[in-house]
Amino acid sequence: MSPLPVALGPMLEQYQLHTSLFTNCLKDMPEVDALMRLNEKVNNAAFLAAHLVDVRGMLGQFIGLQRPTLFNGALEGAKGIDDIARMPSLTQIASAWGEISPLVEGGLVRLTEEVLAGPAPHKFPAVSPTLLGTITFLMHHEAYHIGQLATIRKYVGLKAMSYRPVT
């Protein structure tokens, strides 16, 4: 295996951190709390978590992996929480995260400098139009939503999200 491109190193570290933080955000969260919305304009924790799983699937697709059909297609075509007829359970979401995360990580570590410098598979705001720019944006996107999950955790009375690695 060729060495990891220098530019990808920080992205991979952030990816691994997000893998743990996501799990820590959902730890001990009751289903009823995960489905609660602060108001009709705010997503609930279950939607945010399912969305993050779905976007990891999209990242996998961008780096050459087969994009899985998640949650029996419950998120297919959904533009937002109100488009979801039946939200996946936290158990389903956590299981899907645990399955997709190592697959995408395995795909990321196989990327070369040449592939990272190639064209972006999708245009995202404020980043270079390369695959590395796409990965950069998606790492920011994960951090943004993980922060929302951490806030909801505190709002429903759970302990703050832990930065300790999942054991």
Is the residue at 119 inside a domain? Answer: yes
Contacts of 148 (CB under 8 A, 6+ apart): 43, 48
CATH number of 102's domain: 1.20.120.450
Answer whether residue 3 is part of any domain: no
Domain count, the chain: 1
CB 161 within 8 A of CB 150: yes
On whether the CB atoms of residues 71 and 96 are closer than 8 A, the answer is: yes
In a domain, 160, yes or no: no
Establish if 1 belongs to a structural domain: no
Question: How far is residue 37's CA from residue 133's CA, in Å, rounded to a whole number?
Answer: 32
Distance CA 150, CA 128 (A): 29
Domain that residue 48 falls in? 8-155
The pLDDT score that the predictor gives to residue 167 is 64
pLDDT of residue 74: 87
Q: What is the pTM of this model?
A: 0.94
In the chain the first and final C-alpha atoms are separated, in Å, by 28
Question: Would residue 164 count as lying in a domain?
Answer: no
Residue 25: its pLDDT value, please? 97
Burial class (CB in 10 A: 0-12, 13-18, 19+), 85: exposed
Residues in the chain predicted with pLDDT less than 70, given as ranges, are 1-2, 167
- The per-residue pLDDT for 159 is 96
pLDDT of residue 7: 86
Please indicate, yes or no, if residue 166 is contained in any of the structural domains. no
pLDDT of residue 73: 86
